[in-house]
Amino acid sequence: MNNALTQYTDLYRENRQAIDNGSAAPLNALRPKALEALEAARRLPVKGDEGFEKTSVNDMFSLDFGVNISRVGIPADIASSFRCGVPNLSTLMGIVVNDRFTPTSTLVSNLPAGVSMCSLREAAEKHPQLIAGHYGSAADLSKPGTALNTLLAQDGVFIHISRGTHLEKALQLVSIMAAPTPMASFRRILIVADEDSAISVLKCDHTQVRSAQCLSSEVIEIIARRGARVEFYDIEESNSDTSRYCQVYVRQHEGAEVNICGSTLTNGVTRNEYNIDITGPHTRTRLSGMAIGAGTQHIDNCSDLRHAACHGHSEQTFKYVLDDESTGAFGGSIEVCHGARFVEAFQSNRNIIASAGAKMHTKPQLLIYNDDVKCSHGATTGQLDAKALFYMQTRGIPLAEARRMLMQAFMADVISAIDLEPLRDRLRHMVERRFDGCEAGCRECLSSKQDAN
């Protein structure tokens, strides 16, 4: 087996100075520990490793990708391709090209007091203590993907909302992969919501159409402090040349509410990991995911939710519709720790296999070290309801349209998990278009008044 890790650790050893120079102190401070963790791990996960039954991270990283450590500006055609606007949802928008954050012209002046959204490097200068205190605080370096990201990430996005602040508008990150040659980018996102604040963040991932093969490594840390409410929505619409490894780490303190929904509409190979650590009592957590696969798309979602405190309530819903030769995987584990009493934790994974060639692998797990809890999990994989299809046909609805309507309907509860109503409507429309066979594409949002530059 080709060990993909070596090319990255070698790159780091040879360019340590350049990497540090292009980054900021709190990020640089963690690199030695990350390297140590990688040396101990020796390799990235391969297919068949526990938790990686269907996805080889090693393969995703094995191509001879370039890494833009000297931080050459890579032009991305934002205006003509990717201006993602959600109608009626006037968001405060920032653009991230690979790992470089660019605010829209109106962002800075429109951000209310108590809210920051800027590049991590800028944040490290402006709020060194905040960054040093939180960067890497939730991410787990014992996971090789996270250690590798920590080793090489030079920049990313920082979002902070201060105590008691409620942001009414959603923050939006339009994230674009643009690469003239095969390229890997390592990006970090750090979201800190202070006590009793409320914030919603929408992120959409795109790949510039003319790009070469690209790999996105992303570690997202979300710190929801006491009584904070955080919504985080992630929509991937990349292309078949894109590999994405996204690891989300959530730390939920007392009374915090977190709602996360990830949607994969188009992609190449995707692995999303949601690690949710509930450390305070009286929390609410909602985690949903939707995957629509066609062609040879591969989508692997993995959730690891740990209730370490009493009176936590969590609900997980993951749904897949897989067509053609696409493959899906889901691994979900709920752990209720010793002493975490009165926890209610529910998980469901339901999948539709719409063709003979599509495959789904699902592995739900429950680990309960406690009495006085209410937990459930369930997984089903099946086909579209033949009776419903025939019923619709007898009313004159053509088979292909009936299938689309049923697939769309199947995703309804994931979409309804989103609290932002305009985003719900928008996503419903995007899913409809996706099932129509069009690229979901944000291209029609071009009329959006937002200025990308």
Partner 1 sequence: MSDEILLKVTDLRARIDEKEILKGINLTVRPGEVHAIMGPNGSGKSTLSSVLAGNPAFTVTGGSVEFHGIDLLGLSPEDRSHEGLFLSFQYPVEIPGVSMVNFMRAAVNAKREYFNEPPLSAGDFLKLMRQKRAIVELDNKLASRSVNEGFSGGEKKRNEIFQMAVLEPRLAILDETDSGLDIDALRVVAGGVNQLKTSSNATIVITHYQRLLDYIRPDFVHVLYKGRIVRTGGPELALELEEKGYDWLKD
Query: Which residues form the interface with partner 1 (CB under 8 A)?
Result: 385-388, 390-399, 401, 405-406, 408-410, 412-413
Q: Is 380 exposed, middle or buried (0-12, 13-18, 19+ CB in 10 A)?
A: exposed
Q: How far is the CB of 407 from partner 1 (least distance, A)?
A: 10
Q: How far is the CB of 415 from partner 1 (least distance, A)?
A: 10
CB-CB contact of 98 with 178 (8 Å) = yes
Q: Is 129 exposed, middle or buried (0-12, 13-18, 19+ CB in 10 A)?
A: exposed
Helix (H, G, I), strand (E, B) or coil at 348: strand
Q: How far is the CB of 301 from partner 1 (least distance, A)?
A: 21
Query: Nearest to residue 101, comparing CAs of 115, 122, 132?
Result: 122
- Torsion angles phi and psi, residue 32, rounded to 5: -60, -40
Return the number of the residue (385 or 421) whose C-beta is nearest partner 1: 385
Q: For residue 286, list its beta bridge partners.
A: 259, 315
Q: How far is the CB of 107 from partner 1 (least distance, A)?
A: 37
**What is the residue whose two structure tokens read 């992969």?**
177
Return the number of the residue (187 or 424) whose C-beta is nearest partner 1: 424
Task: Report residue 386 as tokens.
Answer: 């033949």
Q: 160 Cβ partners below 8 Å, 6+ apart?
A: 115, 116, 123, 127, 130, 191, 192, 193, 194
Return the number of the residue (253 or 424) whose C-beta is nearest partner 1: 424
- Dist CA 2 CA 56 (whole Å): 12
CB-CB contact of 117 with 103 (8 Å) = yes
Q: How far is the CB of 418 from partner 1 (least distance, A)?
A: 16
Query: Nearest to residue 103, comparing CAs of 115, 88, 114?
Result: 115
Query: Nearest to residue 179, comparing CAs of 64, 46, 302, 11?
Result: 64
Bridge pairing between strands 115-119 and 155-161: antiparallel
Q: How far is the CB of 356 from partner 1 (least distance, A)?
A: 16
Q: How far is the CB of 434 from partner 1 (least distance, A)?
A: 16
Return the number of the residue (5 or 353) whose C-beta is nearest partner 1: 353
CB-CB contact of 171 with 159 (8 Å) = yes
Q: How far is the CB of 361 from partner 1 (least distance, A)?
A: 25
Q: How far is the CB of 413 from partner 1 (least distance, A)?
A: 8
Return the number of the residue (340 or 402) whose C-beta is nearest partner 1: 402
Return the number of the residue (29 or 409) whose C-beta is nearest partner 1: 409
Helix (H, G, I), strand (E, B) or coil at 434: helix
CB-CB contact of 349 with 332 (8 Å) = yes
Q: How far is the CB of 397 from partner 1 (least distance, A)?
A: 5
Return the number of the residue (367 or 412) whose C-beta is nearest partner 1: 412
- Dist CA 321 CA 358 (whole Å): 9
- Torsion angles phi and psi, residue 267, rounded to 5: -170, 180
Return the number of the residue (299 or 392) whose C-beta is nearest partner 1: 392
Return the number of the residue (101 or 410) whose C-beta is nearest partner 1: 410
Query: Nearest to residue 189, comparing CAs of 216, 155, 162, 165?
Result: 155
Return the number of the residue (338 or 395) whose C-beta is nearest partner 1: 395
